[in-house]
Structure 1
């Protein structure tokens, strides 16, 4: 059923909750976890006005991504789960869906945070993935008490 589970991970608390659920699911099913870190440079023109070194910024994001995926890999290892890491650059929701579809993932497992009324109106990465993915999405939501 689920042999390849995509776990998008950015190191945030809500992403960690989703990632841990994905790892537990993979352990129960004997599946491989594919952890994806998306390098997102939101508002690049604004950021570049402050810094003229876009490549250095990308490298810093990549280094951070490698660190958080390595930490998540330790959790996967503790659960005896096969674990692979992947990196993409772009808008997180678009890159997550594109990766899942292009790499034949069986499910996407991600966390979502309680955002209140305005956050629900605007939508977040998880909401966008749920709305646009042809791959089944499992969302592990944090409650207001978890924040």
Structure 2
């Protein structure tokens, strides 16, 4: 029933929560995890003033490869197969396309828990994914266990923020 579970990740604490839950589900269901990082199209274009746009874009891609690789490592430790991908674009649109293109059965995504005016003005990727993806979506919002604390970004790892 659930053979492929997509876990989008941006390296945040909330993504760590989704990784934990998604891998646990995949382990129980015998599913393959797909770890996807989307380099934000807007952030990748914001640095042309410095003349370092290509270098900065490459840093964003390398960061995405690093965090999806870490997801693959956690999945391997749990005995779960994992496919990794890094794409550039608008997160919710890339997630929706990935679901359609890779026979994804379920999405497990973290929520930053935006509320009030901020949520109304900006929306959230998780909210957009829930509304747009035609598959079950589990939104996870909780504190990560100590076992995943190492995955939280440090100051030198947050190139995309």
How high is the TM-score relative to the length of structure 1? 0.89
Find the counterpart in structure 1 of residue 82 from structure 2.
83
Q: Is the 8 A contact 1:35 1:85 kept in 2?
A: yes
The CA deviation at 1:141 is 1.8
The CA deviation at 1:55 is 1.7
Q: Is the 8 A contact 2:15 2:110 kept in 1?
A: yes
The CA deviation at 1:113 is 1.6
Which of structure 1's runs of 4+ aligned residues deviate more than 6 A? none
Q: Is the 8 A contact 1:114 1:142 kept in 2?
A: no
Mark the runs of 5 or more structure 2 residues left unpaired by the alignment: 144-161
Find the counterpart in structure 1 of residue 54 from structure 2.
55
Residues 1:19 and 2:19 are matched in the alignment: yes
Q: Is the 8 A contact 1:10 1:38 kept in 2?
A: yes
The CA deviation string for residues 70-122 of structure 1, in whole angstroms up to 9 with x for no partner, is 22222111211001101111000100011111111011110102223123313
Q: Is the 8 A contact 1:114 1:141 kept in 2?
A: yes
How high is the TM-score relative to the length of structure 2? 0.82
| Inter-CA distance 73–43: structure 2 relative to 1 (3 Å threshold) | closer
SS at match of 1:69: helix
The CA deviation at 1:44 is 5.2
Mark the runs of 5 or more structure 1 residues left unpaired by the alignment: none
Q: RMSD of the alignment, in Å?
A: 1.5
Residue correspondences, number = 142
The CA deviation at 1:142 is 3.3
